[in-house]
Amino acid sequence: MSNTYDLIIVGGGPAGMAAAIYGSRSRLNTLVLEAKRKTGGQPSTYHDMENYPGVPETTASELMDNFRKHAEKFNAKFKRGEVTNLEVNGLEKIVSTKKGGEYKAKSVVLAMGAEPRKLGIKGEEELKGKGVSYCATCDADIFEELDVVVIGNGNSAVEESIYLTKFVNKLTMIVIHDEGVMDAEKILQEKAMENEKIDFVWNSVVEEIKGDGMVEKAVVKNIKTGETQEIDCHGVFFFVGRVPNTEFLEGTVELTENGYVKANDEMETSTSGVYAVGDVRNKVVRQVVTAAGDGANAAVMAQGYIEEEEYWQNNVLKSKKPVLVAFWSVTNQNSMDMITKLESMGLEDKDYRFVKIDTYKNRLISNRYDIEEIPTVIKLIEGEVEERLVALSVEELQEFI
């Protein structure tokens, strides 16, 4: 089986699978590489899903399963593989995996998401999997009728706490803010406050997790008074944000100080033909619906990029004849007059290849050649710019030819 595709998507969360739906539906040969055994990304670790538009009643795992089925309906392919390197050579992108797999594509969508943030507090690493957890859906049933502590107060922390109360005896949320102040949405805060199984410890942080082989206590410190207390518990759940999986991208695409991929509203990164979507992208709102929107945008942009690049390489860069490229726009009458004049000059008979570039539809090519004003005509020989005329008149055009 060939390992060459039109579009490779790194990550099978909601953003990646939305990109797969749009990419494969556009007849792009599409591959999704997912590091984990199960696709679905971060939502696959949740239970409830109440805020995806048009789907009032479903679970997070059911919704993610439907995302995958939808992508597979349009012949998107899924393979398991942890991507460790991305190499970009113009239109060819080479994606390498930890186990030695190598895949080639014309465009790549980065959708690796993020991993749970670890605080590095004493006992956290030692008791991981022994009462320390980062996933309520994965581990809730282990703590049935037991007492647990939750660190965090954002949307994920509150949603997962509410889910945990279906199993546990008692849940204590450790909140760093003043009493009544949380980072979660108001409706979630209200649900948590009304839940009889949830207690709150305000103005506090967990300093240490104690236990002889299994979690037994959480040492909690009040950040205002400095006083500490030990809370008896059988589990400690961390929901304190996530860290993007972007280590392998350093030097390939531009990253923020926190490791998120810098991408614009069109999901374009600093590298042509490489897009970033979902939680791996530098953005404010991180929800399933916004991730899906990112994925759709990226796939549409990738399709346009591939079409532009293939046309440019085949008709311009590989041309044996000198190429005259005219940049124009339907909103600029002078540029349209220029196109009409050029088309009447019999350029093919003068041993030229003539190419028209609409600056609205072909942004990538226009940006590559720094087209700031139209009409502009450039002459390329063997792919290199030999001459350039900006805002030229018909007389200048005739002399140029």
Residues with a known catalytic role: 135, 138-139
CA distance 49 to 59: 5
SS3 326: strand
Cβ(308)–Cβ(362) under 8 Å? yes
- Backbone φ and ψ for 34, nearest 5 degrees, come out as -120, 130
Q: How far is CA 310 from CA 121, 203, 347, 369, in A?
A: 52, 58, 23, 17
DSSP 118: P
Q: Which two tokens stand for residue 23?
A: 């990419």
d(CA 168, CA 354) in angstroms, rounded, equals 72
Query: Who's near 4: CB < 8 A, 6+ residues apart?
Result: 103, 104, 105
Identity of the amino acid at 165:
T
Of 354, 355, 389, 386, the residue nearest 375 (C-alpha): 389
Instruction: Name residue, tokens 């030999």.
Output: 386
Q: What residue type is 264 in one-letter code?
A: N
Q: For residues 149 and 235, is the Cβ–Cβ distance under 8 A?
A: yes
Residues 6 or more apart whose CB falls under 8 angstroms from that of 126 comprise none
| 3-state class (DSSP) for residue 73 | helix
Place of tokens 């008692």: 170
Question: CA angle, 86 as apex, 84 and 89 as ends, to 5°?
Answer: 160
